Structure 1
Amino acid sequence: MLPYWRLSGFYFCYFALLGGVAPFLSLYFHHLGFSAARIGELVAIPMLMRCVAPNLWGWLGDRSGQRLLIVRLGALFTAITFSAILWRQDYLWLALVMALHSFFWHAILPQFETITLSHLGARSARYSQIRLWGSVGFIVAVVGLGLLLDRRGLDTYPAAMLGIMLGIFVCSLLVPPVPVAVRGDTAASAGFVQQLRRPGVMVFFLCAALMQLSHGPYYTFLTLHLEALGYGRGLIGAMWALGVIAEILLFLIMGRLLRRFDLRQLLIGSFVLAALRWLLLGWGAGELWLLIPAQLMHAATFGCFHVAAVHFVQRHFSERLQGQGQAMYATLSGCGGALGALYAGYSWAALGAGWTFTLAGIAAGVAAVLLGRRLPG
């Protein structure tokens, strides 16, 4: 029997944490008095750890078969290491906290994606129906934290984040183990390299990195960008939530989209809309009638892309190498995200919001061309 609600509950809490990070982490660092360049560096550190941690944990998960134990320990140590932020807030200490907690945080999702797909088995099309609860958690966190920070101030931010992390750990304890019949074996990793060499696989991973690179200005500076344009924090939170609502609606129909379009078409379409979205945010966000459709495109740039990417990895890597395949996706996405945060931090001060988002649009456009030319139909 599919443990739908226990899997969904975990996604709810995990992405509630992302809902606390994406709109508010840079705002918290700004509140502490850091410059745009320092904010970009601090936000990039967790993404840099995503370049290292998932592959290590993915290899360990495939070798040991103890994916759920890795998820539980990762969740626990994420909370423990993040709690150090309550003691000091100088730059070097915060950099250390960002590195340590993200090393364990990035152990979690690739392993849990594999656990979910193993529970689903032949019903993998239902993945989006489970994953949508992560988007609900994101919205709840964005709206709830927005209200909390408006009333209590940004000094309450670290404690609120720690509470969400503990919620992830509790939810991980409720998830049942994968049935023995569908667990991976401990085969050598040579087959992983062979599967990487299949046509289009490395191009896909490169484009996944470019997608996350293009999101760098969005996740690092959107809140500050909208504040500078005169929007209140309540409306800013609503704009973040609008994007995720669009994503949820996409998840509800994703099964039909997967039946109607192939993965190549879905991936290319996501990148084309991403390029358009970043141009709208860079040059037209001051107009609400342009900001709203830009946020609705989150359904494509995150929702459609992510589901298509997870299915791509599932189809191109064997069962025993799913953990490493999902980890490679997370790793290269992390590398792209780190580079995106870093370039955004430096570009924001030097070039301004418009050209920073334009560079993001160019990255997405290049990826669309690469997929169109190199990914098999």
Structure 2
Amino acid sequence: MLPYWRLSAYYFFYFGFVGAFSPYFALYLQAASLTATEIALLMSLMQLMRVLAPNMWSWLAERLAMRVAIVRLSALMSLVGFSGFFMTTEFAGLFAAMALMAFFWSAALPLIEGLAFSHLGAEGHRYGSIRAWGSVGFIVAVLALGQALDHVAIESVLWVTAAILAGVLACSFAIPESVPSQIARAAPSLRDTLRRPEVRALFGACFLMSAAHGAFYVFYSIYLVDEGYGKALVGWMWTLGVVAEIIVFMLMPRITRRFSLRGILLFSFACAVLRFALIGWGAGSLPVLLFAQVLHGATFGAYHAAAIAVVNLWFCGRLQSRGQALYGSISFGAGGMLGGLLSGYTWDAVGPEWTFTLGSVFALAGLVWLVRGWPAPRAGEATSS
């Protein structure tokens, strides 16, 4: 029986953490008198650990057949690591706490994605309805905290985020392991799969898509506040983007019946080129920013749903968790780290306008790589493209 609500609850709290942490923790660091470079370095540790850790954890989970146990360990140690932020505002201490939290936090998502698809089986089209609860959790956290921060101290970010991490830990103990036969099917070797040109094109393009989002995830909230927008509006702007994301997740079964996964990805990259240029040069216009946030439904919602579906098709059977880990490491990990670190240097050097323009350039490069490395499917290949 599909553990729909248990998986949904985990996603709700997991991305609720992201909703509290990503938009507002940089503001907390700024209030602690850290420089833009120090903020970028700390926030980029999340991406760095997503490069290093997921493949190790997924390999261990595959060898020991202990995916759920590692998810629970991840939740516990993430909370332990986050507790370090209560103890210091010195860069070295914050760096150590972030590194510990990020190392364990990065273990969970590829394993949860693999577990979700294992439980779904032939009902893989229902993934979007489960994952949408993560987006709901993000909205609840970002909107509630954004409203609260206009009235309470920025240090409240720490307490709210820690409480959400406790919720992740509780939910992790409700998730059942998948049936062994569902994860032990015969599959091509990892090396043979990675030799396919379309696989390399997808991972390369995903790397660039995450790099394109680097400045957005690190500096978007700071950017809006510096432009004179209130923290409550910042929360609403993040919420708008995630509402668009939820709508796309819910519509994905219909969208995939009409368009190929490759076509959805190409459209998402084209939207990213436009979106980050609009954010960079249109911050003085609220309607422009609103439209740019609606595009989040394409640049993350449609992009992620299509990419993860392709990875699930290409990395089947025993490679399922490894494929999801590679996707996360290369895209959100390496790509996000590159985008975040570069934004820290360019923010002060050339300004936010050109920093977000660099994001558009990354998205354009990813679009070109995907077009050239993954040709349009021939007749009979639509189900995998």
What range describes the TM-score normalised by the shorter chain of this pair?
A: over 0.9
Name the CA distance, whole Å, in 2 between partners of 1:228 and 1:253.
Answer: 35
Q: Distance in 2 between matches of 1:42 and 1:176?
A: 34
Number of matched pairs: 375
Offset of residue 149 of structure 1: 2.4
Partner of 2:338: 339
Partner residue in 2 for 1:300:
298
Contact 1:250–1:299 at 8 Å: present in 2 too? yes
The Cα offsets for residues 84-126 of structure 1, whole Å up to 9 and x where unpaired, read as 1111110011111111111000000000000000000011011
Moved over 3 A (4+): none
CA contact (8 A) 2:244 2:294 kept: yes
Partner of residue 216 from structure 1, selected from 214, 217, 231 = 214
Deviation at 1:181, TM superposition (A): 2.6
Correspondence for 2:243: 245
Tell me the distance in 2 between the aligned counterparts of 1:225 and 1:359.
16
In the TM superposition, 1:219-230 aligns within 5 A as: 219-230=217-228
Q: Are residues 1:31 and 2:15 paired? A: no
Amino acid at match of 1:107: A
Taking a change above 3 Å as real, the CA distance of residues 190 and 310 of structure 1, as seen in their structure-2 partners, is: closer
Comparing 115-124 with 229-238, which one deviates more in the overlay?
229-238
Counterpart residue number, 1:179: 179
**Which of residues 264, 271, 274 in structure 1 aligns to 2:272?**
274
> Would the alpha carbon gap of residues 294 and 75 (structure 1) be closer, same or farther in structure 2, given more than 3 Å must change?
same
Q: Who is 1:327 aligned against?
A: 325
3-state secondary structure, aligned to 2:2: coil
Contact 1:62 1:184 in 2 (8 A): no
Partner residue in 2 for 1:264: 262
Letter in 2 for 1:142: V
Q: Tell me the equivalent position of 2:357.
A: 358
SS of equivalent to 2:51: coil
Following TM superposition, by how much is the alpha carbon of 1:252 offset from its aligned partner in structure 2, in angstroms? 1.1
Identity %: 45
- Map of 1:10 onto structure 2: 10
Q: Deviations over 1:170-219 (max 9, x none)?
A: 0111112212331337x9x9911111112310111111111111001100
* Alignment RMSD (CA, Å): 1.3
Q: Over residues 245-303 of structure 1, what are the superposed CA-to-partner deviations in whole Å (9 max), with x where a residue is unaligned?
A: 01111111111111111111111111100010000000012101111110000000110
How far off its partner does 1:147 sit? 2.5
Does structure 2 conserve the Cα–Cα contact (< 8 Å) formed by 1:65 and 1:184?
A: no
Say which SS state the counterpart of residue 343 (structure 1) adopts.
Answer: helix
Which residue of structure 1 lines up, in the alignment, with residue 382 of structure 2? Answer: none
Q: Distance in 2 between matches of 1:316 and 1:208?
A: 15
* Alignment correspondent of 1:369: 368
List gaps (5 residues or longer) in structure 2. Answer: 378-385
- Residue 315 (structure 2) aligns with: 317
1:149 is aligned to 149
1:133-190 deviation line (CA, Å, top 9, x unaligned): 00000000001111232222111221211111110010111112212331337x9x99
Which amino acid in the other structure matches residue 67 of structure 2? R
Aligned to 2:56: 56
Judge conservation of contact 1:10–1:172 (CA < 8 Å) in 2.
yes
* Partner Cα distance (1:263, 1:103) in 2: 31
Matches of 2:373 and 2:200, distance apart in 1: 10
Equivalent residues in 2 for 1:81-120, closer than 5 Å: 81-120=81-120
The amino acid across from 1:179 in the alignment is V
Q: Distance in 2 between matches of 1:34 and 1:148?
A: 23
Instruction: Find the aligned partners of 1:98 and 1:190 in 2 and give their Cα distance.
Output: 37
1:289 maps to which residue? Answer: 287
Structure 1 residues without counterparts, runs of 5 or longer: none
Checking the alignment, whether the CA contact within 8 Å between 2:20 and 2:145 is kept in structure 1 is yes
Q: Counterpart of 1:150 in 2: which secondary structure? A: coil
